[in-house]
Structure formats: C-alpha cells, structure tokens
Amino acid sequence: MKKLALAGLVGLSAISSLHAQEGQDNWGTLHGNFQFDGQLYVRDEAIDPAGEFYPDERFLGQGFANFNYTKGNFRAGVRYENYQNVILGFPEGFRGEGITYRYLQYVKDEIDVTVGNFYEQFGSGMIFRAYEERGLGLDNVMDGVRIRYRPTQGIQLTGILGKQRVYFQKAPGVVRGINADISLNELLPAMATSSWRLSVGTSFVSKFQEANDPVYNLPENVGAAAARFNLQKGGFLWTTEYVYKANDPSSDNGLIFRDGLGFLTQLSYSQRGFAISANYKRLDNMAFRSDRYGKEFEAFINYLPPTTRLHTYALPALFPYATQINGEVGRQFQVAYKFDRGTFLGGRYGTHVSVNYADAYSIYKSPIEGSTIGESGTDGYETDWFQQGQVHYYTDFDVIVTKKISREWKVIASYYNFAYNKSVLEDGVSDQVIMNDPSVQEIAYVNAGVLELIYNFKPLHSIRAELQGAFSDQYRGDMAMLLLEYGWSPHWFFSAQVISNYGHTDPEMRLTYPIGSVTYFQDQTRIQVSYGRQQAGIFCVGGICRVVPPSNGLSISVTTNF
C-alpha cells in the first residue's frame, strides 16, 4: 500500500505538470521536495582507537520525499522516509522505511480542519509544540485531528487530539489540547485605533497514559495550563508566558510527584540602527512527554525555548547550551548598534556591533523534611524562586563587529568567552551529585575569537576566509581553524577547512581534522560531496542537542524542490 500510494502521487505529479503546460488549472497543483544524505565510513584509529564508532555497514544513508497537493479548499500530502541505515549520531530508532506523514486538510472562511498528521504550536511552545528538526533527528508530529476556528474577528481557537510519532511507531499516550489566541485590538472597537497592540492567549493540554507501576500510584491523566500576553507599541515589545503542569512522575525526573512550572518573559526595543533585548526564563520540572519512559527526543509534548545565542562558527559551536528540562534559570541580554556612515566609527559604509550575554544556573533546591533531594515517590525538593541555584551550567559573553571596508571587502570580527559545564551538558551528571561533591564537575573556561574576510572580486565570484581560535586549560584545550571558501555563481561552491586541536588536555587527542567539500547548484537542485575527519561533539538547534560521534569518510547530500 505504501508503494502504491507513492506511485500514485508521482503519477499525479506528471498529470499536474502536463495540464499546467496546457494552461489548465482545474487539476490543482502538486509540489514537494526530496533529500538524500549518505556517508561512506573509513576506519580511523586516531580518532576512534577501539573502533567503537566504526559501523559494520560501511555506507549508511537516509532520505525522504514530500508531496503536497492543493485544489481549491482542499490540501493533501504524504512524506516517504527511508533509513538504510541511519547515519551515525542520529537516534537508532530510525531504521526502516515507510510513509510517516499523511494528511487531508479543508480550509474555508472561519474553519480549518486537518485529519492525519499535523504540526502545531501553542504560544512559545512551553506547553505544546509538535514540530520537526530534521538535522537533529527530531520529529514528534501529531497523528489525529486538528480544528482551527475563528468565531469572530480577533479570536482564534485551536483544538487537537491524537498521538505523537516515535520513529516508525506512535507514543502510548493520547494528547488532547485547546488553545485560544485573542487580539484585543481586533476584538474591541475601542482599541481598534490604539497605537498599543495587545494580545492574550491561554492553553490547556493533557495527556493520558495507562499506568501499571508495581510501586507507585502514577497519574494516568496529566494536565497543563498556560497564560500569556504580548504588548507592543512601535519598536517596543513585551511578551510573557506562564505554564503550570500537574505532577508527572517520569524517567526524566526520577519518578517524583512534583508539579511543574515554566516562566518566560522577553522585553525588547528596536529602532533604525539600534536594538536591545532582555530575556528571563525559569523552568522547574517541565519535562512533558506522552511516554513517561521516553528518552532522548522521544514523544516530547512541549518545547522549552533557549535563552542563549546559537553560534554558527565551527569552534564557538563546540560549546553550545542544551536546555535543562528538569530545571534551570536562564538570562540573556543583547544590544546591537549600527554606527552611521561618515562617523568616526562608522567610516564610509557604517559599522555594526552586537553584544550578547547569557547565563544559565540550576534552580535552588533544598530537601523536603524526611527525604533527600529528588527521592522517588516524594515531591522531590523545595525551592525558592528568588534564590539562584547551586550549580552553574553555562555563561556566554560575545561581541561581534561587522564592517564593510570597500565594495569588494567585508570583515566580521568576533570574541567569545564561555563557561561550559561539560559534566552537566555532555555527561549528564545530575545536580544532586554535583551538590554533594562539587569537585566531580568539569567546567571549561574558554576564550575564542573569529576573523572572517569576504571578498567579492567579480559579479559572480567570491572568496571567504575564516581564522578561528579557542583557548582553554580544560576539556578540549587549545584549538585553531582555517577555512577557505570559493563561490562561482550560480553553480559551484568549493570549501576546505582544517581544525587543529594542538593543545588538547589529553595528548593523544591532539589531532587535526581536515574537511573538503564541493557543492553544485542547478535550478532547485543542490548536490554536495565532502570528505574528511569529523571530531566528536554536541550538535544543538534551539537548545535541543544530540551527540555527534567522531567519523572519517566520504559524505554526499542531494536536495531538490519541485
């Protein structure tokens, strides 16, 4: 049936294209995309002496194809995925093939009904977010029914019911939810002409999962509620959301019966050439899954937004922050300013400066009388909202200066200072273990710098170079990187980089990691071939992270849209 459905859609694509050429549109439209990623692994004893990460199968590959059809008020689509077998570093549950996403949707006037698979988010996502992050191997798409309804101008209601995807299966829990977003400027005539824009929202989400624990009386129904508001005037914006979750004993929190709380507030102001923002977040026992025994990315109902900057340069990206779902306090402050042309610091083309500070700590914990912190079957611990936690997770201070020197030359200079708790963020050491013995934690203090040069010497030609350094007395020690890229529009792109971990704290890990790649573009198709050595690390997107093992070999990636 899966192969027949796929073949039918391919045939429908050909028919749709034919009728489009004939000037007819009554057949609707079909569009989609395709991607394939594969890697041929080479044995490398330097980065993997025991062969722990060298697969028995030398070539691993994975791919998918999306097909979406639209005609009038109706939409439909499917996605076919194939993992033969999954590339190292992705969750092992992705093994096999099948149609993992299919839906039918009807949209007309005030009503929007979807049956089958769908992605959705309530507010910031702290209470509910079904989404996909393919680079991480995360896909918690819902399978069920979603209804959106606008009863009147300014009010949007959304209801959901279904189960979440876990690889090629479904999570055992049933997820139910309702959300309301209200724009008071649209709803209330008295506010229609106000320069202040105010919207509010509220959500309720619950899960049901059978419980057969021989020791604890686990709740089968767990509910969560959220309230939020957005206030805006000109360049001023203030957003805040608060989430309460009923007690939800799980493998994440060690089977404690403590309620969960989430609080996020963001204040920002921007105008031409200037922007400033401040964020504060507090999470307490906010792991929320439709499988209480889930691990890694499996069956997360909610998403916990980070209050740290995502770094894209190679060496700073080795020190990312992973949101701590059982509890954290996070703060972030950012300022960006552009010095105008003709000023002393602006020069001929202007200068842009961005400053960012972010940190994260555990929440403060003290034992409940008669128990230890985090003891299973209890409320876990007591806490004080206004007292900082005992464990330091992360600090990031960075300054980025962007300067155009001439028509051809552009320079970006960056400085980074990190405090990176490897024991928590990579090794998974618990707060309680560190509180009992602070000497067990390993915190890396890192100073890093990046100098990026971009040279456009012809309309279709450009060269980009990066010189990076990261220096520390802990963990990875001292590193340096050189990157050279050459672009020849519109078809070719060449890249070569080498990272030298010359000052690693372990002399046997003082290795060099070279990588070269060639990329070809043709219309909507992109083909990339790379060869080189990849060091072990953590890959993060939006505070969600996965471990990337060391590897060496040839990789290929093909993507196309139609």
Report residue 7's pLDDT band, with 50, 70 and 90 as the boundaries. Answer: very low
Looking at residue 215, its pLDDT comes to 93
Question: What is the C-alpha to C-alpha distance for residues 294 and 290, in angstroms, rounded to an integer?
Answer: 8
Amino acid found at 169: Q
Q: Is the pLDDT of residue 14 over 60?
A: no
Report residue 19's pLDDT band, with 50, 70 and 90 as the boundaries. Answer: very low
How far from chain centre, in Å, is Cα 554? 26
Looking at residue 414, its pLDDT comes to 98
Q: Is the pLDDT of residue 17 over 70?
A: no
> What mean pLDDT do residues 517-533 have?
96
Q: Is the pLDDT of residue 382 over 50?
A: yes
Look up residue 408 and give its two tokens: 């051809």
> What mean pLDDT do residues 291-315 have?
94
Report residue 407's pLDDT band, with 50, 70 and 90 as the boundaries. Answer: confident
> What mean pLDDT do residues 94-115 have?
96
Looking at the chain, the number of H-run helices and the number of E-run strands are 4, 31
> What mean pLDDT do residues 223-236 have?
97
Phi, psi of 187 (to 5 degrees): -80, -40
Looking at residue 263, its pLDDT comes to 98
In the chain, the percentage of residues whose pLDDT exceeds 90 is: 85
Q: Is the pLDDT of residue 183 over 50?
A: yes
> What mean pLDDT do residues 448-470 have?
94
Looking at residue 25, its pLDDT comes to 56
Looking at residue 552, its pLDDT comes to 96
Q: Mean pLDDT for the chain? A: 93
Question: What is the C-alpha to C-alpha distance for residues 151 and 149, in angstroms, rounded to an integer?
Answer: 6
Q: Is the pLDDT of residue 182 over 50?
A: yes
* 490-523 pLDDT tens trace: 999 999 999 999 999 999 999 999 999 999 999 9
Q: Is the pLDDT of residue 6 over 70?
A: no
* 50-92 pLDDT tens trace: 999 999 999 999 999 999 999 999 999 999 999 999 999 999 8
Report residue 390's pLDDT band, with 50, 70 and 90 as the boundaries. Answer: very high
Q: Is the pLDDT of residue 36 over 90?
A: yes
Question: What is the C-alpha to C-alpha distance for residues 156 and 258, in angstroms, rounded to an integer?
Answer: 33
Q: Is the pLDDT of residue 547 over 90?
A: no
> What mean pLDDT do residues 483-489 have?
95
> What mean pLDDT do residues 246-257 have?
96
Weakest mean pLDDT among 232-236, 437-441, 444-448: 437-441
DSSP class of 347: T
Question: 3-state SS of 167-216?
Answer: CCEECCCEEEEEEEEEEHHHHCHHHCCCCCEEEEEEEEEEEECCCCCCCC
Question: What is the C-alpha to C-alpha distance for residues 99 and 118, in angstroms, rounded to an integer?
Answer: 14
